[in-house]
Amino acid sequence: MDAEIETALERGTGKALFAKIAYLWKAMLIGRPFTDGNKRTALTVALTILEECRVDTGGRVKERMVQEITRIARENIEDADRIERLIRYAVEGH
């Protein structure tokens, strides 16, 4: 397993749901552990975690998540707290 993803999983232990996803997104979108598909993988992982936790991912959630993933990767956002806020906005819409 990629060291950054392993670290993200360890840092996310015991954290709130959006914080866990934020650490994973940071590892995938900034660390880019895969040659291709980092954004798609980040989206799939987040949606899977949210659905497993019975969080509604319908409506515009997926669309907003794609927008935030693109922003994080494009702007090279490394602050996990900011990434968490972007995830919260994508899911809750505010």
Q: Which domain holds residue 45?
A: 3-92
Q: Which residue has the tokens 């999983």?
A: 9
Q: What is the CATH number of the domain that holds 10?
A: 1.20.120.1870
- List Cα–Cα distances, 74 to 23, 49, 54, 61, 68, in angstroms: 17, 24, 30, 20, 10
Distance CA 81, CA 72 (A): 12
| Residues 2, 17: Cα–Cα separation, whole Å | 21
The tens digit of pLDDT for each residue in 46-84 reads: 999 899 888 999 989 999 999 999 999 999 999 999 999
How many separate domains does the chain show?
1
Residue 75 is predicted with a pLDDT of 96
Please tell me whether the overall predicted TM-score, pTM, comes out greater than 0.75 for this model: yes
CA 86 to chain centre: 9
